[in-house]
Amino acid sequence: MSGTREQILDAAGRLIHLRGFNNTSVDDILRESGVGKGNLYYYFKSKDELGYAALDRTIERIQEDALAGIFAPGIDPWTQLHRFLDFPVERARREGCIGGCPLGNLALEMSDIHEGFRTRLSNAFTRVRSKIEETLETAKSQGTLRNGTDIVRLAHFILAGFEGAFMLGKVHRDVDLMGSVVDELKVHLAQYRVA
């Protein structure tokens, strides 16, 4: 990827994460990136195309920087799930509860008004949920998941709780509140574990 294209995507990703897609103008991205308008339109035909590319890059980074480590092979599935739930709390502590989840933010803003973003975000959340399901399936195969557990339903619940914790932390600027939501999710999850 060229340095100029990467500069544009870095700037767009940061601004969209903090301000939202609709509240981020092309001029904002140009100022933030230090790139000229001609360069931006050389790489991206429209703001939507740039937004899709920034979202794809965010998804790729979440996969590489977070999910690959959290769900690394050879780690106990229950440890993986706890690490997944702890992730938003650790991030909020580092960032002062600023920003929230980039995918969750964009989903709230765009899902009702932009089908292209809604579809991409739905696919991204499906991939995250699938990682949770795979982890629960591993626990099942190891005999540590309660018989009769609806894995798809539980995975949806875990993901919804994860996103809810992120959102509450952001709204209240309270990492301890996030932590208490995550602790409650862990208590709930423990009911499915067979010792």
Are 127 and 43 within one domain? no
Tell me: the pLDDT tens digits for 130-167? 999 999 999 999 999 999 999 999 999 999 999 999 99
Does 62 map to a domain?
Answer: no
The pLDDT of 23-45, averaged and rounded, is 95
Return the pLDDT at 42: 95
Which amino acid appears at position 65 of this protein? D
Round the average pLDDT of the chain to a whole number and report it: 94
74: left (phi over 0), alpha (psi -120 to 50) or beta: left
What total of structural domains would you count in the chain?
2
With cut-offs at 50, 70 and 90, classify the pLDDT of residue 66: confident
Does 63 map to a domain?
Answer: no
* Residue 115 in tokens: 């089908």
Q: What is the CATH number of the domain that holds 38?
A: 1.10.10.60
Are 25 and 75 within one domain? no
Range of the domain at 85: 71-190
Are 37 and 86 within one domain? no
Q: How far is CA 16 from CA 9, 65, 70, 78, 174, in A?
A: 10, 19, 25, 33, 22
Are 79 and 19 within one domain? no
Are 124 and 176 within one domain? yes
Separation CA 107–CA 28 (nearest Å):
21
Are 46 and 19 within one domain? yes
Are 97 and 37 within one domain? no
The pLDDT of 50-59, averaged and rounded, is 95
